[in-house]
Structure 1
Amino acid sequence: MSQAFNLVDDARLASDLARQAGALLLKARDLTSITGKPLGALGDAVGQQFLSHSLQSLRPHDAVLSEEATDDVARLERSRVWIIDPLDGTREYSEGRDDWAIHVALCVDGEPVVGAVALPALNLVLDTSTPPQMPDAPDGLKILVSRSRPPEVASRAAEVLGGELVGMGSAGAKTMAVVRGEAHAYVHAGGQYEWDSAAPVAVALAAGFHVSRLDGAPMVYNQKDVYMPDLVVCRPELKDRLMAAVA
């Protein structure tokens, strides 16, 4: 039988683990002389080892789904599943940029109820234990997209709405940039997985932002197929116009 935990405690744990993992990754990057893909692989390994061991010790009865571990399909029979990305934005991390993140989320019956996104290079953790207050909208409509693969649907939305596309690294960094008031929306199409969005989505929802698939469907996690190809995160006042533009 699974041990019962208070979701408030789970949220604090997610925040603490994300922060600690971020500190470890910063230290690993500072202490090594390797660069490029080997540095990214080191970051992935450091984050995975810390988070997986921590969750195994502190939440032994919960399932864990991670980008950096073999998928155990026994998770499909569990109500509580931690979904983690030990290093979201491996390329950005290896290039010394600041737009990478650590994701720690807890989904209960498919719903992302707890989440923490650490932005270690900015010394920030945004989480559901103390959801961020929605800031004022920035000047000029800005839509965040992948800096390497901006989707055509986002280009179309920017044209329809009179906005501009802004490229940025990890999915967590982009979602948190919307939550922090640096942009109005984040539009993604073309391929992600559950670990790319679970924690950022939990934080954005807790802060009052609109989150959905491109067709307006809610984000549902702990699925047999963990591929989640599209995502929209935006300020609530933009929802109707943006969703019409991406339809």
Structure 2
Amino acid sequence: MSETTPVGVDWSADLELIRAAAVVAGETALGYFRKGPDVRWKNEGRSPVSEADLAANDVLKTRLLAARPDYGWLSEETDDDSSRLTRETVFVVDPIDGTRAFIAGKELWCVSVAVVCRGMPVAGVLYAPALDELYEAVASGDALKNGKAISVREAAPGETLHLAAAEDTIAKLAPVYRNAVERVPHVPSLAYRLAMVADGRIDGTLVKKNSHDWDLAAADLIVARAGGALVDLDDKPLFYNRSTVVHGVLCAGARPILPGLIAACRSLEPH
């Protein structure tokens, strides 16, 4: 499969489709929020899934595949179907990114929906219904938050960087870098954390290994169209809809700070 997005394709109709579906899925999930939804555990008891996740997933799958039956499907809450690897274009979704926060009654969760073509996201939506926030982007044009253009923050040289990362990750950074960083308190949704990079609330984030396509694809495009980037430790963009959907250590932020972030991450663990 080629990893080059078709030139000149207008993905705005797909953006409209996934936006509408994400809003309905988000409102569906919101109907369970702070109402004690049933919860079970998957992945040998490591990951919770609530009835809200499954209901939102059903909304997305029904609406999206009815509109684009030739597209593949990859969701955190659906058994993987290897036929997606034969499809040029795929929906990549997380019905609720931040399920633990959702179950705990915290507002930092979102519906993540992306259209991926030839391995690259070309339309993406993040909808955080409890916060009344909707982020979106298409392969050309601005990233938007509630209809208004957003952009990453470019810190001045020597300015303190506000980074979202685990405490143990920040603690392991070289002192010369750690002393120039202020850690952002834990953000339970990775997709929403990347949205915070896109709208300039934070400067960047370090992502531990083992994130998945559905955590990243929509937010990746939104960060990119906001003027930033999500990259691996070789400063390469991510590709999606591969046989493995798991990623290594990643960094996101405005382009000028990425070399420093990558160097800091390389000092933490081999890749």
- Tell me the TM-score range normalised by the shorter chain: 0.7 to 0.9
Matched AA of 2:21: L
Matched AA of 1:9: A
1:69 aligns with 2:78: yes
- Which is richer in helix? 1
1:13 aligns with 2:32: no
Please give the secondary structure, in 2, of the residue aligned with 1:168: coil
Q: Out of 101, 119, 127, which is 2:128 matched to?
A: 119
- Distance in 2, Cα, partners of 1:197 & 1:222: 12
Q: CA deviation at 1:245?
A: 2.3
Counting only pairs closer than 5 Å after superposition, residues 212-231 of structure 1 correspond to structure 2 as 212-231=231-250
Matched AA of 1:62: Y
Match of residue 188 from structure 1: 207
Match of residue 145 from structure 1: 165
Contact residue 82 and residue 107 of structure 1 kept, 8 A:
yes
Per-residue CA deviation, residues 172-223 of structure 1 (Å, 9 max, x unaligned), is 1100111122110011113111111111101111211121012322100010
Q: CA deviation at 1:241?
A: 2.3
Q: Out of 81, 99, 120, which is 1:90 matched to?
A: 99
Please give the secondary structure, in 2, of the residue aligned with 1:204: helix
- Distance in 1, Cα, partners of 2:245 & 2:23: 25
Match of residue 164 from structure 1: 182
Match of residue 44 from structure 2: none
Matched AA of 1:19: V
- Distance in 2, Cα, partners of 1:73 & 1:154: 40
Q: CA deviation at 1:229?
A: 3.0
User: Structure 1 residues 68 and 60, CA, compared in 2 at 3 Å: closer, same or farther?
Assistant: same
Contact residue 35 and residue 94 of structure 1 kept, 8 A:
no
| TM-score of the superposed pair, with normalisation by structure 1 | 0.87
- Distance in 1, Cα, partners of 2:255 & 2:54: 37
Per-residue CA deviation, residues 50-108 of structure 1 (Å, 9 max, x unaligned), is 00111121111100100101111011111101100011110000111111111100110
Contact residue 170 and residue 183 of structure 2 kept, 8 A:
no
Match of residue 27 from structure 1: 31
Contact residue 233 and residue 250 of structure 2 kept, 8 A:
yes
Please give the secondary structure, in 1, of the residue aligned with 2:32: helix
User: Structure 1 residues 165 and 18, CA, compared in 2 at 3 Å: closer, same or farther?
Assistant: same
User: Structure 1 residues 46 and 155, CA, compared in 2 at 3 Å: closer, same or farther?
Assistant: farther
Contact residue 154 and residue 256 of structure 2 kept, 8 A:
no
> Identity percentage over the alignment?
26
User: Structure 1 residues 116 and 206, CA, compared in 2 at 3 Å: closer, same or farther?
Assistant: same
Contact residue 153 and residue 189 of structure 1 kept, 8 A:
no
Matched AA of 1:225: T
| TM-score of the superposed pair, with normalisation by structure 2 | 0.80
Counting only pairs closer than 5 Å after superposition, residues 231-242 of structure 1 correspond to structure 2 as 231-242=250-261
Counting only pairs closer than 5 Å after superposition, residues 36-47 of structure 1 correspond to structure 2 as 40-47=49-56
- Distance in 2, Cα, partners of 1:224 & 1:94: 30
- How well do the aligned residues superpose, as a CA RMSD in angstroms? 2.4
User: Structure 1 residues 35 and 18, CA, compared in 2 at 3 Å: closer, same or farther?
Assistant: same
Q: CA deviation at 1:236?
A: 2.2
Contact residue 210 and residue 236 of structure 1 kept, 8 A:
yes
Q: How many correspondences in the alignment?
A: 239
Any unmatched runs of 5+ in structure 1? none
Q: CA deviation at 1:244?
A: 2.5
Any unmatched runs of 5+ in structure 2? 1-8, 42-47, 145-149, 267-271
- Which is richer in strand? 2
